[in-house]
Amino acid sequence: MFRGVESPNERLQRRVLAPLFSTGAGYRAFVLFLVAVVAWGVYAYIVQVNYGLMATGMRDVVMWGLYLVNFVFFIGISHAGTLISGILRVTHAGWRTPITRMAELITVVAISIGAIMPIIDMGRPDRVWHMIAFGRLQSPLLWDIISITSYLAGSLIYLYLPTIPDMALMRDRLAKGTSSLRQKIYTFLAVGWQNTPDQRRRLDKAIGIMALAIIPVAVSVHTVVSFVFSMTLRPGWDSTLFGIYFVIGAIFSGIATILIVMAIFRKLYHFEEFITDKHFRLLSYLLLTALLLYLYLTFSEYLTVAYKLAGEEKQLLATLWTGSNAPWFWLFVVAGMVVPAFLIIIRRGPVIPRVVTAAVLVNIAMWAKRFVVIIPSLQVPLMPFEFGAYAPTWVEWSITAAAFAAFILIFTLFAKVVPLISIWEVAEEQEKEEAPAQETREKQQPAMRPSPLGRRQV
């Protein structure tokens, strides 16, 4: 296909852009399957709207169920983007460049799915506008609306900004006249990017501001999500630790999610060259750091409660440790804390399978952990009767499956529109690394200019 020597930048463009222009049967079948799952979830939701929340396992005592578990889980993994691209960009960690785009994409898709969950949880979703019309500032739910809206807007902007040069690349690669709609979209999204010094200056400035601004917003979001629980006097929720506990938990599951997504697309899109063992290794250290912080917070949270055993907390701990919720709790401890820690610390065998196993376990365990936080606290009676019972119905399981399918579906569709690796940032980083050795060649071939070779190839 290529004659002569292919420069690293050309190879990068070819590899990253290839999936955007060729769609296989497997891809179509997978999308069809995901659409079917989402459609089944929509059917379940129609059943729920018709019959009311009686179609779910939620009742007056345990009034929150899987929907809120999913809500906290998805908002949690949305912290992936903030951590990887916000914090690593601010600290100039060069190795971040091939994975920032995926991290930012996870953020946007996860918040969108997460933000829908409380509306699905409502028996009267038509009243959601009451939150805007009659919302009262003393309600943590209003705090949620304000901070999640701000976070969604901010992370959309933060996802979009670094795609501009890549959009321009796509615009230039598509021959004029062919596939006109697609080209129009890329032209609009590229906002006339020509890689002029003035444009570079403006883009660097914009990205720099957003990288800083998005970090406090992300922290505020998960703090406010935790306030929905910790602003009550319920056993298990009545804790001052909850803000930071949720934030660390979010970062923890966020890193795990990036690892999984990285591994999948590395395999499917043949990104082996750009996403290497090094990225998995470095991210696994971050995962371990988050794990240890989370372990520490979990330990202090349960020790302080168990030592005092105030009020109903004895019943809560009994149901968590030895009672009906014990399987969930110990699943969290073993699969989320113990096994991943050993998988990362004991460095035997190839790094990627080891770290990805840990990441999958962490995500399963963190979903279970959100269940453990929300449901048992509601089961402990505040009046001296009736332990609450909760068993999710098929409606809730269907909508939960649809939520995960929708997450993967949106991600899959995005992956056909947006290059999953930030080409210009990786090229820039390559340039920086190779600059001392091959100064002349790289200078002659500025990374940002779409090469005429590439245009012919498509």
Partner 1 sequence: MRRGKILLAVAVGVIVAAIAGGIAFAQPPRQVPPPYAGVKNPFPWDDTSVQKAGKQVYQRACLCHGPDGGSLSGADFSSPDFPLNIEKDQDFYFWVVSEGETNIGMPGFKTSLSDQERWQVLTYMWSLGKKAPPTTPPSSAPPPSGATLYLTAPAQDVAGQPLTFTAMLQNRGGSAIDGATVQFFVKVDFFTTGLMALGEAVTDGQGIAVFNYTPHLSGDIEVVARYQDVETASPLALAAPAVPFYQAQAEVKLPTVGKDIFIGPPSALQLGEMGNAPVGGFRLPGGYLSWLWLLVIMVALLWATYFRVIYQVYRMPAVNRIGAANTRVLPAIVLIMITVAGLVIIAMLFHSPYTHFHFLR
In the complex, which residues of this chain contact partner 1 (CB under 8 A)? 132-138, 142, 145-146, 149-150, 153-154, 157, 161, 164, 176, 184, 187-194, 196, 198-199, 202-203, 205-206, 209-210, 213, 217, 384-389
Q: How far is CA 60 from CA 74, 231, 388, in A?
A: 25, 19, 9
How far apart are alpha carbons 342 and 60 in whole angstroms? 42
How far apart are alpha carbons 248 and 391 in whole angstroms? 29
Q: Which two tokens stand for residue 72?
A: 């906290």
Nearer to partner 1, 220 or 253 (CB): 220
Place of tokens 């923890």: 252
CB atoms within 10 A of CB 346: 9
Q: How far is the CB of 172 from partner 1 (least distance, A)?
A: 10
Q: How far is the CB of 136 from partner 1 (least distance, A)?
A: 4
Nearer to partner 1, 218 or 374 (CB): 218
How far apart are alpha carbons 220 and 202 in whole angstroms? 27
Nearer to partner 1, 46 or 141 (CB): 141
Give 252's contacts (C-beta < 8 A, 6+ positions apart).
Answer: 287, 290, 291, 293, 294, 362, 366
Q: Which two tokens stand for residue 440?
A: 């002349």
Q: How far is the CB of 438 from partner 1 (least distance, A)?
A: 30
How far apart are alpha carbons 371 and 122 in whole angstroms? 18
Return the closest-CA partner of residue 65 out of 446, 413, 389. 389
How far apart are alpha carbons 255 and 69 in whole angstroms? 19
Q: How far is the CB of 62 from partner 1 (least distance, A)?
A: 10
Q: Which two tokens stand for residue 214?
A: 């998005």
Q: How far is the CB of 287 from partner 1 (least distance, A)?
A: 29
Nearer to partner 1, 284 or 377 (CB): 377
Nearer to partner 1, 23 or 149 (CB): 149
SS3 label, residue 445: coil
SS3 label, residue 312: coil
Q: How far is the CB of 220 from partner 1 (least distance, A)?
A: 9
How far apart are alpha carbons 70 and 454 in whole angstroms? 43
SS3 label, residue 243: helix
Q: How far is the CB of 288 from partner 1 (least distance, A)?
A: 32
Nearer to partner 1, 193 or 274 (CB): 193
Nearer to partner 1, 202 or 443 (CB): 202
End-to-end Cα distance, the chain:
11
Nearer to partner 1, 281 or 314 (CB): 314
Nearer to partner 1, 318 or 401 (CB): 318
How far apart are alpha carbons 370 and 442 in whole angstroms? 50
Nearer to partner 1, 92 or 176 (CB): 176
Nearer to partner 1, 71 or 158 (CB): 158
SS3 label, residue 422: coil
Contact 249, 366 (CB under 8 A): yes
Q: How far is the CB of 174 from partner 1 (least distance, A)?
A: 12
Residue 436 amino acid letter = P
How far apart are alpha carbons 155 and 153 in whole angstroms? 6
Q: How far is CA 333 from CA 34, 76, 206, 372, in A?
A: 31, 18, 42, 11
Q: How far is the CB of 388 from partner 1 (least distance, A)?
A: 8
Q: How far is the CB of 201 from partner 1 (least distance, A)?
A: 9
Give the chain's largest Cα–Cα span.
81
Q: How far is the CB of 159 from partner 1 (least distance, A)?
A: 12
Nearer to partner 1, 119 or 209 (CB): 209
Q: How far is the CB of 437 from partner 1 (least distance, A)?
A: 33
Q: What is the DSSP string of 173-215?
A: HSPTTTTHHHHHHHHHHTTT----HHHHHHHHHHHHHHHHHHH
